[in-house]
Amino acid sequence: MMSMLLSRLRLGSARRFSLLLLSNGFSSSMLQTPPCSILSADPCGEGLGKLVTMSLMTKNGSDTDSCFTFSDKKVPLELIRGSDGMVTIGASHGWVATLTKDDGILRLQDDLNPVASDVNPKRIPLPPLVTLHGCQTDIITNVSMSSSSPEDEDCVVAVKFLGPQLSFCRPAQSNSQWTNVRIDNPCFFSSRVMFSKGMFRIPGSGGHLIGSWDLNHHTPKFQELHFQNLPELTKTQRELLDLCFTSQHLVESPAAGETFLVKQYRKTDAETINGIAKLKTEALMVFMVNEYGSAVYTQDIGDLCIFLSKSEPFAVSATSFPGLYSNYVVIRDFDEIVYSRLTGFPLIWRSTRNPSPYYIPPQNIDK
pLDDT score recorded for residue 67: 64
* Residue 165 reports pLDDT greater than 70: yes
Q: What is the pLDDT of residues 211-251, one digit of tens each?
A: 999 887 778 899 999 999 999 999 999 999 999 999 999 99
Mean predicted confidence (pLDDT) in 14-18: 27
pLDDT score recorded for residue 277: 76
| Phi, psi at 48, each rounded to 5° | -110, 160
* Residue 7 reports pLDDT greater than 90: no
- Chain centroid to CA 211: 19
The CATH fold of domain 85-220: Lipocalin (2.40.128)
- Average predicted confidence (pLDDT) for the chain: 83
Mean predicted confidence (pLDDT) in 56-78: 63
* Residue 96 reports pLDDT greater than 80: yes
Share of residues in the chain with pLDDT > 70 (%): 85
pLDDT score recorded for residue 134: 93
* Residue 271 reports pLDDT greater than 80: no
Domain layout of the chain by residue ranges? 85-220
Q: Which residue has the higher pLDDT, 38 or 56?
A: 38
Cα distances (Å, whole numbers) of residue 260 to 281, 313, 317, 340: 19, 11, 14, 16
pLDDT score recorded for residue 70: 64
Mean predicted confidence (pLDDT) in 73-78: 85
Residue 77 — pLDDT band, cuts 50, 70, 90?
A: confident
Beta bridge partners of 324: 322
* Residue 253 reports pLDDT greater than 50: yes
pLDDT score recorded for residue 3: 30
* Residue 206 reports pLDDT greater than 90: no
* Residue 169 reports pLDDT greater than 60: yes
* Residue 59 reports pLDDT greater than 90: no
Residue 10 — pLDDT band, cuts 50, 70, 90?
A: very low
HSE-CB of 148 using CA atoms within 13 angstroms: 7
| Phi, psi at 242, each rounded to 5° | -65, -25
Residue 315 — pLDDT band, cuts 50, 70, 90?
A: very high
Mean predicted confidence (pLDDT) in 176-181: 94
* Residue 360 reports pLDDT greater than 60: yes
Residue 24 — pLDDT band, cuts 50, 70, 90?
A: very low
Residue 345 — pLDDT band, cuts 50, 70, 90?
A: confident
* Residue 335 reports pLDDT greater than 60: yes
pLDDT score recorded for residue 62: 41
pLDDT score recorded for residue 273: 67
* Residue 26 reports pLDDT greater than 70: no
